[in-house]
Amino acid sequence: MKKTLIICALIMFANIEFSFAQSVMEPQWAEFCPPLYENAVFIPAKENSKKNMENNYWALRKAKFDKSIAECKAYAKNSQELGICFNRVANLERNKNNQRIEAKIEKQEDLNTQIRDGGFWWY
C-alpha cells in the first residue's frame, strides 16, 4: 500500500512538472512591434529618412530581443527558470514600448506648447 501511494505521488508530481513545462510560452516578437516592422532588417543608408530610422530602430530591437530569447534558452536549467527569463524579456519589451509612447506624447505636447505660445524660439 505504501509503495502504491509513493508511486502515485511520483506520477502525479511528474505530471505536474510536465504540464508546467508545456505551459511556458516563448514571447513572440510580433507581440511587441508594429506589423510593418515584424521582419525589419537593418539598412545602412547615407540619408537618415524617418522611415529608414524607424525601420532600423525596430531591426536593432528585434536583434536584441532574439539574443535575449536565445540566452534564456541557453541558460535556463528548468521550465521555471525559462518562464521567469521569458517574462523578464517580455516585461523589458513592454517597458520599452511604454517609454517610446510616453516620449512621443511628450514631444507632441512640447510642439503644441510651442505653437500655442506663438511659435518656435528661433524666430
Say what the pLDDT of residue 19 is: 47
| pLDDT per residue as tens digits for the range 6-20 | 665 556 655 554 444
d(CA 123, CA 118): 10
| pLDDT per residue as tens digits for the range 37-60 | 999 999 988 777 888 999 999 999
| pLDDT per residue as tens digits for the range 67-77 | 999 999 999 99
Q: Provide the mean pLDDT of the chain.
A: 84
* pTM over cut 0.85: no
* Dihedral angle, C-alpha 107, 113, 116, 120, nearest 10 °: -70
In the chain, what are the domain boundaries?
A: 2-116
Say what the pLDDT of residue 110 is: 85
d(CA 62, CA 52): 15
d(CA 8, CA 11): 5
**Cβ atoms 82, 72 nearer than 8 A:** yes
